[in-house]
Structure 1
Amino acid sequence: MSTSLLPQRIAFLGDYLPRLCGIATFTHDLSEAVASAAPDADCYVGAVNDRVEGYEYQQRVRFELLEKDLDSYRRAADFLNFNNADVLCVQHEFGIYGGPAGSHLLALLKEVRMPVVTTLHTILREPNTSQRKVMEELVRRSDRLVVMAHKGAEILRETYGVPDAKVDIIPHGIPDMPFVDSSFYKGQFGVEGRKVLLTFGLLGPGKGIEHVIEALPEIVRQHPNVVYLILGATHPQLVAREGERYRLSLERLAEERGVKEHVIFYNRFVSQEDLKEFIGATDIYLTPYLNEAQITSGTLAYVFGAGKAVVSTPYWHAQELLADGRGVLVPFRDPTAITAGVCGLLDDPPRKEKIRHDAYAMGREMIWPAVAQRYLESFQHARSDRKASPRAAFAGWTLASRPYDLPPLRLDHIVRMSDGTGIFQHAIFNVPNFHEGYCTDDNARAFILCNLLDELGGQPPAENLGKLATSYLAFLAAALDYTSGRFRNFMSHERRWLEEAGSEDSHARALWAAGTGAGRSRNDGHRRLAAQLFERGLAVVASFSSPRAWAFTLLGIHEYLRQSASNTAVNEARVVLTEKLVTLWKSCATEHWPWFEPSATYDNARLCQALIFSGQWMPHPEAFEIGLKSLRWLASIQKTQSGHFRPIGSNGFYQRDGARADFDQQPVEAQAMVSACLEAFRATQDPAWLREAKRAFEWFLGRNDLGLPLYDSSTGGCGDGLHHDRVNENQGAESTLAFQLSLAEMNCAEHLITDPLRPAV
């Protein structure tokens, strides 16, 4: 390939040392190796931070972005563009970027103008919906994809339709270590004369270390001089979530099995130089991982390339690396097989030595200098491809194609309206109105908002968001009458329920919120309680007569099924409620009135959205088409000649064959249209729906009949409605939540906007 295509400015993006994770180590090692292999190139790194204060980085790091701050991804793209990077090498793992399934990364990739080479550290054969959408967009926006095993290329081809010509198979890089006898290093660790078994890496339940400890009593019986060294700190995210519970459980297990004298825990993240010495002292390396779908293991690559005998469970990377007798594969979760594998090697030194020599020979292709050369070839290939099919550099910067400039998140008024009980219903201007108390409707909306914001990340801090979510969920739990299965709605400021059962609509909104918590929450307690509330309150909906209650429940069902797709009762309820809406449509809709009822009243777009969801995922093609057709009509009657959004007014609504009410326009109508149109876009990929969503969202910001904003950027609140002559200046919970939910959904959807300048794969 022509040397003219050698990049002179190479940018790397990923976690970076001193952050403690495998991707950080990989990004560091790769960037250093490429810098050494191309000494005339300017190699620099963009580091992804998982905390606001960042880290003390080396000079190689030129820019930083905050994992959960969407705007920082756009700023990073601007930095890369203005610094004229020749190629961007992205390290991809779903969990290191913000947004659902790491979707914030797409905001950066949409904006950068240089070729992109993406290294895939995880490739899922059975992704969930969010993961598939992100992966497909990531594939589309990358010029080259790097995988570390042939299995990765196979999955890309079979699951995502990626042509082999776009994929480079480059092994995980390893340091160049000498081939030495393990006894050379044992003295400094005080294990002279002992056989050392090693597992290293960030500690977590997926490592399967408990199965090795279960195997140790029999291994020690046959080889009393064995010691098992477990090297590595507990994963920081696991520590934050549950402390050292997993490590302590392993220590207790070793004591219970009588092998505590044969197990050493070294609870720290070691430097590469220290790691070389630990590996050097190893006789057999163990990777008893529990998940077959692990396409890459840096620890396995390190030890294998150093010429060590390996006993491993057959996850994908191990299957490939240890094939043809280059190691020992044992079944998952099988201590007896681990015993046989370890003792078989210890009992047969010539076999162990042959395995070592074969592994070391193959490992010469994996040392970082060799890997760096392969990456440079991939970078050249990406630049060649881009020259053959260039991106339109200037056309992409027009206002029409730049990301829509959304207001920053501001939750001051939500916090002001909330106390330990929940969120107040109403406000007098921007002051909570205690006299009106609380309601389930608004606490349900607020709980949904907290779950969406937690997925998006950014502000407010997670602990503040968690506190708000806890209050709102606790309100919903108190609202449910477990005897009747009905949610109450209204509560006084003195915390007295004002009715035995709320309306059908409020009950269904509570189910929608509970389903969202069950399907989305990352808080285990929240998720389990929300699922319980959803399951307890679902059965009574079959007797409801409100179409909006059916629709809200269907939205909750969709959320619940994110995590419990096989629940028979919930799936059956979806079928029943979907048929109710379809039957209602057929009984009322005409060519000139394609609607579910003789009048269009409130939260209208939710009926359409529910059928789009159910129609797509059941699947039910007829329901899906009804959802789109009714939403198309609704959009047409809520659009003025000048092109702005005009929701059906609540002062009379819109009766068939009658005049429609233009005022009082309610924020919930705009929010319902935003949600439904975004879902229509996700389902159809028709950009017209994005334009409709944007039109409805801009109603909040002043693109409306009066040209006045309802959203108050100084407080984060939203006016209660648009009258014929003024904005209702009271900033109640329903209205404020309608805006904040719309903003969250617009942020969630922004990265899904198709870039017409970039051809599909």
Structure 2
Amino acid sequence: MKISQPTRHIAFIGNYTPRRCGIATFTADICEAIATEFPEASCFAGAVNDRPEGYDYPSRVRFEIDQDDPESYTRAAEFLHINNVEVVSVQHEFGIYGGPAGSHLIGFLTQLKKPVVTTLHTVLKSPDAAQREVMTRLDELSERFVVMAERGQRLLVEVYGIDPGKIDLIPHGVIDMPFVDSNFYKDIFDAEGKTVLLTFGLLSPNKGIETAIEALPAILAEHPDVVYLIVGATHPHLLATQGEAYRESLEALAIKLGVEKQVIFHNRFVSMDELKEFIGGSDIYLTPYRNEAQITSGTLAYTFGAGKAIISTPYWHAQELLAEERGILVPFADAGAIAAAVNDLLEHPTRMTAMRKRAWKEGRKMTWPEVARRYMESFDRARAGLSVPIATVTDDVTYPIPAPKLDHLFRMTDHTGIFQHAIYSVPNYHEAYCTDDNARAFIYTVFHEVEHGPDPAIDRLASSYLAFLWYAFDANTRRFRNFMSHERHWLESNGSEDSHARALWAVGTALGHSQNEGFRNLSALLFQRGLEPVKRFSSPRAWAFTLVAIHEYLRAFSGDRAVAKMQRLLVARLVGLFQANSSPGWLWFERVATYDNAKLSHALILSGQHPAIETGLISLKWLLDEQTGDGGQFSPIGCHGFWPQGAEKARFDQQPVEAHAMVSACMAAFDVTGEQIWADHAHRCFEWFLGRNDLGVSLYDPGTGGCRDALLRDHINQNQGAESTLAFHLSRSELTRRAHGLAP
């Protein structure tokens, strides 16, 4: 059983550093924050380019999108599909994607069959027709929205009619800076002994910096030690169209007002380390933006989280963040109000310190690690809330049993044995071989001979698999080892109890069915030497696999009293387990239903002991009912959490081995009872491989003859490992052998 790991594969779409804009910085920050907070996650980015040459991106950026090229978006969607991305985090601003109101993004999301969480960096109160249409389509194509302010949340509901249940309010992340005295940093930028006012970010006219400069004469009249630092390069788009005209106008204004020595420009895009120093060394942060409809400000969030005194115009984000005396709001374009607020704070340092502490304490909820955790919760909700199609069951839908195609079985096998795993349909040498899968593969070759007669090519495969089992058996410990490296080194001295019992199942099957004398003789040696240790095993599944092995063995050697005695012992153990743990509503052997579940029922049905057979049938019927979806499809317990008694059963990741176990158990029930309903159930469980499942997609690949590894919440695991491929072929053989009237 290859239980899937909890690794999350997340793609972030938006602008990305070193592109100079707020969204590029945010995308990089949230991607890195999640990668740091969740090291098991695989995080990468798709960057949107606004120029043909792109940017010198870091390795985190795996692909690039030309914002004005629709085909580039198509290629990006396909890239995410082939990389098995589980959730996509989209940063949305109307101006960063091509097409009317950024509508190229909609084409991308339409092709993207993945759960999408869209972070809205702008929420317009009065959108035009094109913008409203984009928002309507975003609502249809996004599992969840993230906004950074309550006003944005309200606008989504009131203006766009978006379900409030799909909106997550997560603040803009902030640097986790200590609450320190600003004088600690001032020497870095030659401001010792000065009171520092700060504005930072890309320069553009909407920042209202001229208003702050106009306030300086009144501030300097009362506090002549004040300097005003303006940190940041001119916005690239403004620079491309107007050059440095805006910055030059600010410099001219400072000269006109006689404050040019107190206004200090740092005309560059500063690094994060430099930014920490500028923020740390400032006393008051000024954010005199001109537009009320500013739903997010990263610069405001950063200085707020650092516990700075803030004076701001009342744009939406500032209204919320600076409420409850965490900052001061002044009217738009009112230099006198800015001057009065600055002077008042400087004259009342105790009050300013209290305001700073309130901001800093609130900012602990906004640090990047905390924001990363909340985003991951949103991603998990997006996957959990993804609408899962239910397989439609109609009389005219058929799932014919495919003809046998063994290309992938041959591809996965070398002279040593069968490889455990594949990357897509290519053998994965890194994880090499295991006894579990070579046992399954040997069982399949035996049944292939029963159904199709001797085949030299299949015999060669069978020889490799049986040779592996022989080499896996340690005569000293009388145990089978399980995992072997590609260099043919055993990675353990003893394998698991389950792998030991699966090896017995394989050689028992050869003794019961194979016509190859060499295979039978070697299998007899392994069976006889490996059976005795099972007495000391505690795994119920090991007992069950061994009982299936014994059933096959006794087909050929029914008079073996020692083996019959072991059968009675293991049957008694399984029946006792059922009696100890079952109750009304929980007709099962354990307090948690885990993996290869039907094999427990299957083993008792094969036992030939009537009370045990009845227990097997009762438990199998219960398990079948509990694993039948609303559309009548087989819906096995997922291995991502399994099903503890009294808790909710895991619906995903559904494994092919579960379908195979059910097919085998149901066919055994059919053989014992003669009731056609059990054969019908077996066929329905087999159809899970072909698309009659919770997603309505086929796990079997008719092109390769392989089977994908799992049915996940929103897609299938595209890897075609040995366990999955053999689960399909063994299930198919169960059905077709009976259809041809061959012995079960």
TM-score by length of 1: 0.50
1:135 positional shift: 1.3
1:168 positional shift: 0.2
Question: Is 1:79 aligned to residue 79 of structure 2?
Answer: yes
Q: Counterpart of 1:9? A: 9
- Contact 1:6 1:380 (8 Å CA) reproduced: no
The 5-angstrom pairing of residues 393-408 of structure 1 reads none
Deviations 1:144-164 (A, max 9, x none): 000001111000000000121
- Contact 1:113 1:391 (8 Å CA) reproduced: no
Q: Counterpart of 1:228? A: 228
For residue 20 of structure 1, what is the amino acid of its counterpart? R
Distance 1:257 1:143, change over 3 A: same
The 5-angstrom pairing of residues 357-756 of structure 1 reads 357-388=357-388
Question: Is 1:243 aligned to residue 243 of structure 2?
Answer: yes
Question: Is 1:153 aligned to residue 153 of structure 2?
Answer: yes
Q: Counterpart of 1:129? A: 129
1:7 positional shift: 5.9
Question: Is 1:46 aligned to residue 68 of structure 2?
Answer: no
Paired with 2:59 and 2:244, the residues of 1 have a C-alpha distance of 34
Q: Counterpart of 1:180? A: 180
- Contact 2:7 2:40 (8 Å CA) reproduced: no
Q: Counterpart of 2:288? A: 288
- Contact 1:6 1:376 (8 Å CA) reproduced: no
Q: Counterpart of 2:91? A: 91
Paired with 1:241 and 1:324, the residues of 2 have a C-alpha distance of 41
1:178 positional shift: 1.2
Question: Is 1:113 aligned to residue 113 of structure 2?
Answer: yes
Paired with 2:343 and 2:163, the residues of 1 have a C-alpha distance of 44
Paired with 2:70 and 2:387, the residues of 1 have a C-alpha distance of 30
- State the aligned residue count: 391
For residue 194 of structure 1, what is the amino acid of its counterpart? K
- Contact 1:196 1:228 (8 Å CA) reproduced: yes
Paired with 2:91 and 2:390, the residues of 1 have a C-alpha distance of 23
1:377 positional shift: 0.2
1:362 positional shift: 0.4
| SS of match in other structure, 1:261 | coil
Q: Counterpart of 2:354? A: 354
| SS of match in other structure, 2:47 | strand
Runs of 4+ in structure 1 over 2 Å off? 3-7, 387-392
Deviations 1:527-577 (A, max 9, x none): xxxxxxxxxxxxxxxxxxxxxxxxxxxxxxxxxxxxxxxxxxxxxxxxxxx
| SS of match in other structure, 2:261 | helix
For residue 45 of structure 1, what is the amino acid of its counterpart? A
Deviates more, 1:108-117 or 1:76-85: 76-85
Deviations 1:398-417 (A, max 9, x none): xxxxxxxxxxxxxxxxxxxx
Paired with 1:391 and 1:264, the residues of 2 have a C-alpha distance of 67
Distance 1:306 1:213, change over 3 A: same
1:84 positional shift: 1.5
CA RMSD between the two structures: 1.7
Q: Counterpart of 2:218? A: 218
Q: Counterpart of 2:24? A: 24
Distance 1:20 1:117, change over 3 A: same
| SS of match in other structure, 2:237 | helix
| SS of match in other structure, 1:285 | strand
Deviations 1:679-698 (A, max 9, x none): xxxxxxxxxxxxxxxxxxxx
- Contact 2:254 2:260 (8 Å CA) reproduced: yes
Q: Counterpart of 2:320? A: 320
**Bigger Rg, which one:** 2
Q: Counterpart of 2:34? A: 34
Paired with 1:140 and 1:17, the residues of 2 have a C-alpha distance of 29
| SS of match in other structure, 1:160 | coil
Paired with 1:220 and 1:139, the residues of 2 have a C-alpha distance of 51
- Contact 1:11 1:88 (8 Å CA) reproduced: yes
Q: Counterpart of 2:425? A: none
Deviates more, 1:135-144 or 1:301-310: 135-144
For residue 12 of structure 1, what is the amino acid of its counterpart? F
Distance 1:71 1:223, change over 3 A: same
Q: Counterpart of 2:345? A: 345
1:188 positional shift: 1.5
1:307 positional shift: 0.3
TM-score by length of 2: 0.52
Deviations 1:646-704 (A, max 9, x none): xxxxxxxxxxxxxxxxxxxxxxxxxxxxxxxxxxxxxxxxxxxxxxxxxxxxxxxxxxx
Paired with 2:26 and 2:4, the residues of 1 have a C-alpha distance of 28
| SS of match in other structure, 1:260 | coil
| SS of match in other structure, 1:304 | helix
Identical residues among aligned pairs (%): 60
1:5 positional shift: 11
Paired with 1:94 and 1:358, the residues of 2 have a C-alpha distance of 34
Deviations 1:429-461 (A, max 9, x none): xxxxxxxxxxxxxxxxxxxxxxxxxxxxxxxxx
- Contact 1:23 1:91 (8 Å CA) reproduced: yes
1:390 positional shift: 7.8
Paired with 1:313 and 1:231, the residues of 2 have a C-alpha distance of 19
For residue 55 of structure 1, what is the amino acid of its counterpart? Y
Distance 1:317 1:57, change over 3 A: same
| SS of match in other structure, 1:311 | strand
For residue 237 of structure 1, what is the amino acid of its counterpart? H
Q: Counterpart of 1:257? A: 257
Q: Which stretches in structure 2 are left out of the alignment for 5+ residues?
A: 393-713, 715-744
Q: Counterpart of 1:745? A: none
Deviations 1:325-369 (A, max 9, x none): 100000001001111111111111001000111000000010000
1:139 positional shift: 1.7
Distance 1:6 1:338, change over 3 A: farther
For residue 370 of structure 1, what is the amino acid of its counterpart? E
- Contact 1:7 1:380 (8 Å CA) reproduced: no
Q: Which stretches in structure 1 are left out of the alignment for 5+ residues?
A: 393-756
Deviations 1:254-273 (A, max 9, x none): 00011111100110000001
1:4 positional shift: 8.7
Q: Counterpart of 1:272? A: 272
Distance 1:332 1:389, change over 3 A: farther
Paired with 2:4 and 2:221, the residues of 1 have a C-alpha distance of 63
For residue 344 of structure 2, what is the amino acid of its counterpart? G
